[in-house]
Amino acid sequence: MSRNTHNPGAHIGHGALAVSDGELNMITTEGGGSSHSLDSNLCHPGPQHSTVGKVASWAVSFERLLKDPTGVCYFTAFLKSEVSAENILFWQACEKFQQIQAHQKEELKREARSIFDNYLSGSAFHAVNIDETAHINESDLQTPKPDMFHKAQQQIFKLMKFDSYARFIRSQHFQNCMLAEVEGAAITRAWSQVQKPGDNTEH
């Protein structure tokens, strides 16, 4: 795997598909922060009716889903049910970090430390799964750059796109939301109707 962090088409593993900067920059939402609680950073689907075609558009592509804040919210809720919400939160934190200007040294240092402590350090409370080529050394935090987390973000993007997203589209959660959209019902209620993992009420 190439160690050039500026190569947007770097491959992750044998035969993996390339990911462009455009794919990584589809949406900028608040994420990360210094809290150790995932719940404090998660969006929570509110009581709303879907506009026609909104839910269906999420199945077109992962990139399309990321363009829709509501889609991101429901995808995040799905990841939480799989105990992997740290992936989308890390991705969002990196998106936010990249918006910081290079001359804003103190803000870069503060946010870089937050991302490192929450997701990348050996003792990270919500560590993400990246390989050694994307690791950030603690010493790198002294001279942070807006693109310093690019390779790690790219790996997590691909993990979500080719793994979690496929399961999300096949999930009963998504199917219920699709049905609710067709019927003009609130998709929040449809989402909540799916049995939570660990419930023993199924027959």
pLDDT tens for residues 2-57? Answer: 333 333 333 333 333 334 444 444 443 444 444 445 555 556 555 444 455 889 99
Q: Are 165 and 147 in contact (CB under 8 A)?
A: no
Please give the full DSSP string across 123-192, using - where no structure is assigned: T-TT-----GGG---GGGGGS--TTTTHHHHHHHHHHIIIIIHHHHHHSHHHHHHHHHHHHT-BHHHHHH
- What are the distances in angstroms from CA 42 to CA 31, 45, 93, 166, 195? 8, 10, 12, 21, 20
What is the maximum span of the chain, computed from C-alpha positions, in angstroms?
A: 60
- Residue 1 binned pLDDT confidence (cut-offs 50, 70, 90): very low
Q: What is the pLDDT of residues 121-152, one digit of tens each?
A: 999 999 999 999 999 999 999 999 999 999 99
Confidence at residue 193, expressed as pLDDT on a 0 to 100 scale:
63
Residue 104 has pLDDT above 90, yes or no: yes
Q: For the packed helices 86-98 and 150-159, what is the interaxial angle rounded to 10 degrees?
A: 140
Contacts of 148 (CB under 8 A, 6+ apart): 5, 112, 136, 140
Domains of the chain with bracketed CATH: 46-192 (1.10.167.10)
The tokens for 182 are: 């067709």
Confidence at residue 29, expressed as pLDDT on a 0 to 100 scale:
41
Other beta carbons within 10 angstroms of residue 184's beta carbon come to: 9
Q: What is the pLDDT of residues 152-181, one digit of tens each?
A: 999 999 999 999 999 999 999 899 889 888
Q: Are 59 and 68 in contact (CB under 8 A)?
A: no
Higher per-residue confidence, 74 vs 39: 74
What's the CA gap between 97 and 112, in Å, rounded? Answer: 8
Higher per-residue confidence, 184 vs 27: 184
Higher per-residue confidence, 44 vs 201: 44
* Report field, pTM of the whole predicted structure over 0.85: no
What's the CA gap between 73 and 77, in Å, rounded? Answer: 6
